[in-house]
Amino acid sequence: MVTTIQLRPETKSRLDDMKIHPRESYDEALNRLLDMAYDPEPLSEETLKKIEEGIADIRAGRGRPFEEVVRERGLE
């Protein structure tokens, strides 16, 4: 089954730019991009807990500014 979709010219141009090679179909390009954007494996309970702990640390002021870490490590 094949379907037609409407795209604004700007969207089509962006999609053209995302193709790996000129002969890649729009279907292949869109599926590749969708696979990159969606991870069907849910986060584990442990990972969710660590994320919550990290957010709590930030809210409690137990973090350091990114710029400070960059300077400290000489990454400027």
pLDDT of the chain along its 76 residues, tens only?
989 999 999 999 999 999 999 999 999 999 999 999 988 899 999 999 999 999 999 999 999 999 999 999 999 8
Residue boundaries of the structural domains of the chain? 7-40, 42-76
HSE value, Cβ hemisphere, 13 Å, CA-based, for 72 = 6
* Total Cβ atoms within 10 A of residue 19: 14
Task: Tell me if 7 sits within 8 A of 15, measured CB to CB.
Answer: yes
Q: Among residues 7, 48, 14, 10, which one has the least CA distance to residue 29?
A: 14
Q: Among residues 34, 15, 37, which one has the least CA distance to residue 25?
A: 15
The residue assigned the tokens 């604004």 is 8
